[in-house]
């Protein structure tokens, strides 16, 4: 549509450069309200009735009509104002002249809405007719190709049943290859056929098919000769998903079916997502839910996906080829999954992620224990040979049942897809994979093979070698009985901290890096979480408002605290086993704290009064009571395990989590940590009801008394 009338048909314009919108409004003020509005409406109609109406002039006049009607407080001012707003909003979607002619003289927003709907339908019909007319023409615009368009067979040829395996369902000659007489069905995308796994020897050679390798048990127990260089391993470049399910007979040899019924079921039939569901009642992204299973839902992909469309296409194609993801078909040509959750990209690697927070709301909690670096030094002896194994694409080894795949939908590039294996973002995935892997760990331990497992990372220890892993020795020093902080990690941490302190403002990504490095130092520098609470608070602020945070106040003080690492050459020695256990009870009232401690054959009570102006909340006083009680007993508790009983759950949670949201309570926790570290106290906080707390009475004494020994 032309933005100006054609040359030769334009009427003489009597206006000058000085004849601005304000000047015209001033001249209109001399007329009556009815005359002014009528004149402006007629002007809009005149512009709309031209042979080639100018949308720009119509919109300009509409703005003038809306502005002046509001100024004069006209009865239909809301109509004109809403008309101008909607016309500017839908400028590119509808015929502005038709909209104005339909609305002027109507009634408010309802009339406008009906008119917009009518005009949109006319525009869509016009575009459809134009598309049909242009079809087959060489000059017709080409359809935008999806990044995944080459994967999908749009017009498959008929295939003979006899050419394929008996369980193969051939594609018919329907216009769309995924429609049959029974409705929708899944298709195998062209160019993305599932590959076949392959084997390689430890040296990277293709193994001989004629040589049969002995079982590992025979080599280990019966001393059968075996060349380790001929050990066969899966070729990582030809990975195929779900291979664990092809070895169920071997799994049965190492599993106790009574103790591992769930594992056997997962290996035989795949994982049924329904067995992990529980009722959810709550709100997610502004919508309330109350159901036993997740209702059908669809979420748009994250905005960042547009920037990484080529990367996402490549990742999806690779996963389709390995069988981890199944391509259902084009949007509108196949049955969509029940739940479609958004894709997003973590840009630093980059890494493709599937956001499954919606589905996880219905998944029950599945707590389990992970063995980590703290357990390693108990396993390693002098001159031990240490081996680490990383299982490629761990979760992709375990299939989902076909009925469960519909809960893990993806929509990208105009195609629907679903996961066929355990997704990375699903809440139950680590529990399932660890439960399967720990069965192998238990079996190897029965064979006296020392090993530990952390999801898909396995650590194996054996003796008989003088070689050692320098990197491991650098982290674990069994002679010093301590975890030693590697120099390279220490220098990187110091550089990052210095760079933040030089900034006036710091971004979210940098804060997350710093916090992650702090937590990674936990073994070598105990109590790390206590000294990154302000960093976590700053991260929370960044997430809420998407802005940088000023490096001031408590945040700067916490960053400055970590300067001790610059000159620290010592180490934190492992705490030795304690045989001396002391029971201590503490409590606090609004005006006094008290404590009761059992030392050898005697029981000691102690306490003191708070300042009369002390208006702190009770949880802070309870925590301060713990600190003052420990300080009062001082060296009496040195090199001991202390079981401290309190009736305040906030104090217990703050100690176990190394801090909390309350800045004052976290500061008290830091003082407690400093005290127990100085006197080598192994402190364990335990809950006791107030009625059973032995320190309850000393905390409520109304007269001043010292402590008594009974």
Is residue 266 in some structural domain? no
Of the three residues 126, 144, 160, the one that is the final residue of a domain is 126
Q: What stretches in the chain show pLDDT beneath 70?
A: 1-33, 92, 105-195, 210, 257, 463-480, 574-579, 703-710
Residues in CB range of 106: below 8 A, 6 or more apart: 79, 112, 115
Is residue 304 in some structural domain? yes
Is residue 357 in some structural domain? yes
Is residue 240 in some structural domain? no
DSSP 60: H
- pLDDT reported for residue 115: 64
- pLDDT reported for residue 489: 84
- pLDDT reported for residue 176: 36
Same domain, 532 and 508: yes
Same domain, 313 and 425: yes
Q: Strand, coil or helix: what is 534?
A: helix
Same domain, 115 and 75: yes
Same domain, 411 and 283: yes
Are the C-beta atoms of residues 316 and 307 closer than 8 Å to each other? no
∠ CA 490-492-495, nearest 5°, is: 110
Q: Which two tokens stand for residue 582?
A: 């002391």
Nearest-angstrom CA–CA distance, 105 and 53: 20
Q: Strand, coil or helix: what is 91?
A: coil
570-573 long-range Cβ contacts below 8 angstroms, 24+ apart: 571/477, 571/480, 571/482, 571/483, 571/484, 571/485, 571/524, 572/482, 572/483, 572/524, 572/525, 572/526, 573/480, 573/481, 573/482
Same domain, 56 and 119: yes
Count of CB atoms within 10 A of residue 110's CB? 9
The per-residue pLDDT for range 151-194, each reduced to its tens digit, is 444 433 333 333 333 444 444 333 333 333 344 444 444 445 56
Q: b or e along 465-491 (b: 16 or more beta carbons within 10 Å of the residue's beta carbon)? A: eeeeeeebeebbeeeeebbbbeeeebe
Nearest-angstrom CA–CA distance, 376 and 452: 8
Nearest-angstrom CA–CA distance, 21 and 274: 67
Count of CB atoms within 10 A of residue 246's CB? 11
Return phi, psi of residue 202, to 5°.
-60, -25
Are the C-beta atoms of residues 293 and 274 closer than 8 Å to each other? yes
- pLDDT reported for residue 658: 86
Nearest-angstrom CA–CA distance, 184 and 178: 6
Nearest to 527 by CA among 499, 496, 488, 558: 558
Domain enclosing residue 663, as ranges: 581-709
- pLDDT reported for residue 21: 55
Of the three residues 126, 155, 170, the one that is the final residue of a domain is 126
* Total number of domains constituting the chain: 4
- pLDDT reported for residue 205: 84
Count of CB atoms within 10 A of residue 84's CB? 21
Same domain, 617 and 529: no
Of the three residues 539, 566, 593, the one that is the final residue of a domain is 566
Is residue 377 in some structural domain? no
The per-residue pLDDT for range 130-160, each reduced to its tens digit, is 555 444 444 444 444 555 554 444 433 333 3
Same domain, 351 and 421: yes
- pLDDT reported for residue 223: 74
Residues in CB range of 52: below 8 A, 6 or more apart: 1, 2, 5, 6, 9
Distance between alpha carbon 552 and the CA centroid of its chain, in Å?
A: 29
Same domain, 585 and 562: no
Provide DSSP, 227-295: -GGG-EEE-GGG--TTGGGGGHHHHHHH--TTT-HHHHHHHHH-B-GGGGB--EEEEETTEEEEESSPP
Is residue 455 in some structural domain? no
Q: Which two tokens stand for residue 581?
A: 């256990």
- pLDDT reported for residue 163: 37
Return phi, psi of residue 92, to 5°.
-90, 0
- pLDDT reported for residue 545: 80
Cis amide prior to 463 (ω within 30 degrees): no
Distance between alpha carbon 558 and the CA centroid of its chain, in Å?
A: 27
Same domain, 587 and 683: yes
Same domain, 625 and 661: yes
Same domain, 294 and 417: yes
Is residue 479 in some structural domain? no
Is residue 87 in some structural domain? yes
Q: Which two tokens stand for residue 479?
A: 């002679």
- CATH number of 310's domain: 3.10.10.10
E strands within 514-591? 549-550, 581-588
Return phi, psi of residue 154, to 5°.
-75, -40
Same domain, 681 and 598: yes
């Amino acid at each position: 549509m032309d933005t100006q009338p054609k040359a030769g048909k334009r009427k003489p314009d009597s206006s000058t450069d000085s004849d601005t919108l304000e000047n015209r409004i001033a001249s209109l003020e001399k007329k009556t309200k009815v005359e002014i509005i009528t004149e402006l409406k007629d002007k809009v109609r005149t512009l709309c009735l031209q042979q080639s109406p100018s949308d720009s002039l119509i919109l300009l006049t509409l703005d003038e009509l809306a502005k002046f009607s509001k100024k004069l407080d006209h009865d239909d001012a809301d109509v004109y104002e809403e008309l101008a707003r909607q016309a500017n909003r839908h400028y590119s979607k509808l015929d502005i002249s038709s909209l104005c002619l339909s609305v002027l003289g109507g009634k408010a927003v309802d009339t406008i809405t009906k008119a917009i709907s009518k005009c949109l339908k006319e525009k869509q019909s016009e575009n459809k007719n134009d598309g049909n007319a242009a079809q087959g023409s060489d000059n017709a615009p080409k359809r935008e190709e999806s990044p995944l368009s080459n994967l999908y067979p749009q017009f498959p040829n008929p295939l003979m049943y006899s050419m394929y395996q008996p369980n193969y369902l051939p594609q018919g000659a329907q216009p769309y290859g995924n429609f049959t007489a029974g409705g929708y069905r899944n298709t195998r995308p062209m160019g993305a056929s599932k590959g076949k796994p392959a084997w390689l020897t430890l040296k990277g050679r293709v193994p001989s098919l004629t040589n049969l390798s002995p079982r590992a048990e025979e080599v280990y127990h019966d001393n059968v000769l075996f060349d380790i260089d001929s050990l066969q391993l899966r070729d990582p470049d030809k990975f195929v998903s779900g291979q664990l399910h092809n070895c169920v007979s071997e799994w049965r040899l190492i599993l106790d079916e009574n103790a591992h019924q769930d594992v056997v079921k997962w290996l035989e039939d795949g994982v049924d997502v329904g067995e992990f569901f529980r009722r959810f009642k709550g709100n997610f992204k502004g919508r309330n839910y109350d159901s036993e299973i997740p209702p059908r839902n669809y979420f748009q992909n994250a905005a960042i996906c547009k920037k990484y469309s080529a990367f996402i296409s490549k990742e999806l194609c690779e996963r389709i080829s390995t069988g981890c993801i199944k391509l259902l078909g084009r949007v509108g040509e196949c049955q969509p999954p029940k739940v479609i959750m958004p894709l997003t990209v973590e840009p630093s690697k980059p890494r493709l992620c599937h956001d499954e927070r919606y589905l996880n709301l219905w998944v029950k909690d599945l707590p389990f224990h992970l063995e980590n670096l703290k357990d390693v030094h108990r396993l390693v002896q002098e001159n031990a040979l240490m081996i680490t194994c990383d299982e490629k694409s761990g979760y992709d080894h375990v299939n989902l049942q076909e009925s469960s795949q519909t809960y893990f939908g993806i929509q990208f590039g105009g195609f629907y897809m679903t996961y066929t294996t355990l997704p990375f973002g699903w809440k139950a995935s680590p529990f399932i994979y660890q439960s399967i892997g720990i069965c192998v760990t238990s079996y190897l331990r029965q064979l006296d093979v020392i090993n530990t497992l952390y999801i898909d990372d396995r650590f194996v220890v054996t003796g008989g070698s003088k070689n050692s892993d320098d990197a491991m020795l650098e982290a674990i020093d069994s002679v010093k009985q301590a975890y030693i902080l590697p120099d390279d990690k220490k220098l990187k941490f110091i550089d990052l901290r210095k760079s933040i302190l030089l900034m006036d403002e710091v971004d979210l990504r940098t804060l997350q890096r710093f916090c992650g490095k702090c937590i990674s130092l936990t073994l070598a520098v105990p109590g790390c979480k206590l000294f990154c609470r302000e960093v976590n608070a700053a991260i929370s602020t960044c997430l809420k408002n998407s802005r940088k945070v000023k490096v001031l106040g408590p945040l700067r003080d916490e960053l400055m605290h970590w300067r001790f690492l610059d000159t620290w050459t010592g180490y934190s020695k492992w705490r030795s086993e304690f045989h001396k256990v002391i029971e201590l009870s503490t409590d606090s009232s609004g005006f006094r704290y008290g404590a009761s401690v059992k030392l050898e054959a005697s029981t000691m009570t102690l306490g003191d009064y708070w300042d009369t102006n002390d208006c702190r909340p009770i949880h802070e006083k309870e925590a301060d009571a713990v600190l003052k009680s420990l300080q009062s007993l001082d060296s009496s508790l040195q090199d001991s395990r202390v079981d401290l009983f309190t009736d305040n759950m906030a104090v217990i949670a703050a100690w176990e989590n190394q801090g909390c949201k309350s800045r004052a309570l976290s500061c008290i926790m830091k003082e407690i940590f400093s005290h127990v570290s100085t006197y080598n106290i192994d402190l364990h906080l335990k809950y006791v009801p107030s009625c059973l707390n032995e320190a309850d009475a000393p905390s409520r004494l109304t007269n001043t008394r010292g402590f008594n020994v009974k």
